[in-house]
Amino acid sequence: MKTVQTLASAALALTFALGFAAEASAHAKLVKSDPAEKGQPTDKKNLELTFSEAISGKLSGAELKDAKGAKVATTSMVDQDNKGLMVMAKEPLKPGDYKLAWHAVASDDGHRTTGTVTFSVK
Amino acid sequence: MAFPFYAWERDHAAPPSFRKALRWSGVLTLVSAWAVLVMMTAGMGGGLASAADLSLLMAAVSDTQFGRVWMVRILLAVAVLALIVKPRPARDWPMLALSGLLLVSVALTGHSALPGGVPGLLHQGADAVHLLAAGWWVGGLLALALTARALGGEAHHVLERFSGVGYGAVAAIVLTGLFKSLLLVQTLSGVDATAYGLTLLLKVALAAAMGLLALSNNRISRRLKAGADQALWLGRLQHSVTLEFALGMAVLAVVGALGALSPPISQ
C-alpha cells in the first residue's frame, strides 16, 4: 500500500508542478485576418488569414464570393510557418462587398474548422 | 497476446478458440482502422461525400500527423493478418510486438498531445502505458473467458498468475488515468458540467464494475484451490470473466465516444 500511496502522491505532485497550461488546442482558430471582419483589405489581390496553429496546405482553403454570390477565382497557399492562409485573387478585386468562406484543417489531428469573413473593397 | 507468456506453462498449446479469436481480432482491427481513416478524412473534407475522394485521402495521410500515424497502424494490422494466416506458437514474440505497437501508436493521435510542450509529452507517455495496461487486462480476460472451462486442475494456477499481473495492470491504469483526467478535465467542476466529464464518469463507473468482478474471480479461485466442485466453479468463473470482458468492451465503446468529444482543456 505504501508504494501505491507514494506513487500516487508523486503523480499528483508532478501534475501540479507542471501546471495546467491551457496551450494550443487541436482546433485552428482564426486569430486575425486581413481584411478584418467588416473592414477593407490592405491589398486588393492578396488576403491573409492567420490561425492559432499549424494547418495543412493540402486540406485547407477558401472560397471568395462577391455581392451577387458569384465565385471569384482565387488560389490559396499556407505561409507564416503554416499558421497563415494566403488567398490570392487572379485579378485585383473590384469595388463592392465580398464574403470569404474559409476552412482550415489542423495539421496535427486533422480537425476541421470553418468560418467566414465579410468585407468590402472601396 | 501476453497471456500465454505468463499464464500458461511454456509448452501449453493454444486451444482452437484462442487462435480463432486472434484471427477475428486481426480482421476487425484492419477493417475498423480503415473505417476510422475514411471517416476522419470525411471530417477533414467537410462531409460524408468527400470520403470517396481518393486525393483527399492521400492528402490526409501525407499532410496530417494523424493520417501518417494511422497509415502506419493500418500497415501493422496488415502485417498481423499476414502472420496469423500460418499456425503460430502460443508464445508469439513477433505478434506480441506488433500488437504492442498497434496499441501504443494510438497515443500519438487524438487529444494525447494536449496541452503541448513537456506536459504533452508526459501525457502521451501516460497514455501509452494506459493503453498497454488496459490491453493487457482486457486481453487476458478474453483468453480466460475462452479457455476457462477446459482448464481443469490447472485453473487456480492460471488464475493466480493472471490476478498477480492484473493488480499491476489495474494500478497502472488507475494512476495513468488519474494523470490524464487531471490534465484534460482539470477541475472537479468540469467533471459533471461537460459532456466530456460525464462520459468520463461513465467510463470510470464501468471500469470500477470490472474491478468488482475481478474481486469475485479471486473468491472463485480460492474455492477451486480448496478443491471444490470443479465443474460448478469453472462454470461460474467462465460467466464472471465473460461479463467482465463484456464490460471491458463497453469501456472501449465509451472511449470511442470520448475521442469524438472535446475535453475541457481544449475549450
Closest Cα in chain B, distance from residue A42 (Å): 30
Q: Which segment, A41-45, B22-26, B53-57, B229-233, is predicted with the most confidence on average?
A: A41-45
Q: What is the largest CA-CA distance in chain A?
A: 75
Under 8 Å between Cβ of A76 and A60: yes
Assess B47–A contact: CB distance below 8 Å, yes or no.
Answer: no
**Whether residue B139 sits in one domain with residue B88:** no
Residue of A15, A59, A112 lying closest to B183 (CB–CB): A15
Q: Which residues of A touch B (CB under 8 A)?
A: 4, 7-8, 11-12, 14-15, 18-27, 56-59, 103, 105-112, 114
All three cell numbers of B2: 501476453
Under 8 Å between Cβ of B241 and B166: no
Closest Cα in chain A, distance from residue B148 (Å): 31
All three cell numbers of A99: 464574403
Assess B109–A contact: CB distance below 8 Å, yes or no.
Answer: yes
* Backbone conformation region of residue A112, classed left if phi is above 0, alpha if psi is from -120 to 50, else beta: beta
Contact A110 B122 (CB under 8 A): no
> Given a cut of 90, is residue A20 above it in pLDDT?
no
- Among residues B75, B108, B141, the one where a domain terminates is B108
**Whether residue B229 sits in one domain with residue B117:** yes
Question: Which residue intervals of B46-187 are DSSP H helices?
Answer: 54-63, 65-84, 93-105, 117-147, 155-184
Partners of A11 on chain B (C-beta within 8 Å) are 175, 178-179
**Whether residue B129 sits in one domain with residue B6:** no
Q: Which is nearest to A25 in space by CA: A49, A4, A52? A: A52
Mutate to test the interface with B, among A6, A7, A59 (most CBs of B within 10 A): A59
pLDDT at A15: 38
Name B100's Cβ contacts closer than 8 Å, sequence gap at least 6.
B1, B132
* Buried-exposed string A52-90: b where 16+ CB fall within 10 A, e elsewhere: bbbbbbbbbbbebeeeeeeebebebebeeebbbbbbebe
| pTM across the whole model | 0.81
Task: Indicate the burial class of A5 (C-beta count within 10 angstroms; 0-12, 13-18, 19 or more).
Answer: exposed
Give residue B2's pLDDT band: very low, low, confident or very high (50, 70, 90). confident
Closest Cα in chain A, distance from residue B260 (Å): 10
**Whether residue B73 sits in one domain with residue B16:** yes
Task: Indicate the burial class of A21 (C-beta count within 10 angstroms; 0-12, 13-18, 19 or more).
Answer: middle
**Whether residue B102 sits in one domain with residue B59:** yes
**Whether residue B145 sits in one domain with residue B33:** no
Question: Which amino acid is located at B232 in the chain?
Answer: L
Write the CA distances from A62 to A39, B107, B133, B203, integer angstroms. 18, 32, 44, 39
pLDDT at A5: 45
Among A47-51, B196-200, B263-267, name the one with the lowest average pLDDT.
B263-267
Give residue B189's pLDDT band: very low, low, confident or very high (50, 70, 90). low
Domain count, chain B: 2
pLDDT at B22: 86
**Whether residue B161 sits in one domain with residue B148:** yes
**Whether residue B134 sits in one domain with residue B78:** no
Assess B31–A contact: CB distance below 8 Å, yes or no.
Answer: no
Assess B234–A contact: CB distance below 8 Å, yes or no.
Answer: no
Scanning every residue of chain A, which has its alpha carbon at the shortest distance from the alpha carbon of B174?
Answer: A8
pLDDT at A58: 92
Please determine, for the modelled complex, whether the ipTM score is greater than 0.90.
no
Contact A110 B113 (CB under 8 A): no
Residue of B46, B59, B111 lying closest to A103 (CB–CB): B46
Length of chain B: 267
Partners of A107 on chain B (C-beta within 8 Å) are 63-65
Q: Which helix (H) or strand (E) is A101 found in, with range? A: strand A96-105
Q: Which is nearest to A85 in space by CA: A58, A120, A121, A119? A: A58
> Given a cut of 70, is residue B64 above it in pLDDT?
yes
Query: Cell 492521400, residue?
Result: B58
Considering only residues A14 and B199, tell me which one the structure prediction assigns the higher pLDDT: B199
> Given a cut of 70, is residue A9 above it in pLDDT?
no
- Among residues B83, B108, B133, the one where a domain terminates is B108
> Given a cut of 90, is residue B5 above it in pLDDT?
no
Length of chain A: 122
- Among residues B108, B140, B160, the one where a domain terminates is B108
Give the Cα separation of B110 and A26 in Å (integer): 9
Residues 240-259 of chain B whose Cβ lies under 8 A from any Cβ of chain A: none
The SS3 assignment for B96 reads helix
Domain enclosing residue B81, as ranges: 1-108
Considering only residues A88 and B150, tell me which one the structure prediction assigns the higher pLDDT: A88
Scanning every residue of chain B, which has its alpha carbon at the shortest distance from the alpha carbon of A23?
Answer: B115
Residue of B64, B115, B178 lying closest to A108 (CB–CB): B64
Q: Which is nearest to B134 in space by CA: B158, B169, B109? A: B169
Scanning every residue of chain B, which has its alpha carbon at the shortest distance from the alpha carbon of A53?
Answer: B116
**Whether residue B264 sits in one domain with residue B137:** yes
pLDDT at A26: 67
Q: Which helix (H) or strand (E) is B195 found in, with range? A: helix B195-225
Residues 64-93 of chain B whose Cβ lies under 8 A from any Cβ of chain A: 64-67
**Whether residue B150 sits in one domain with residue B266:** yes
Over the stretch B73-122, which tens digit does the pLDDT of each residue have? Answer: 999 999 999 988 888 888 888 888 898 999 888 888 877 777 778 888 88
Average the pLDDT over B60-65 and give the result: 91
Residue of A26, A57, A105 lying closest to B111 (CB–CB): A26
**Whether residue B181 sits in one domain with residue B71:** no
**Whether residue B157 sits in one domain with residue B266:** yes
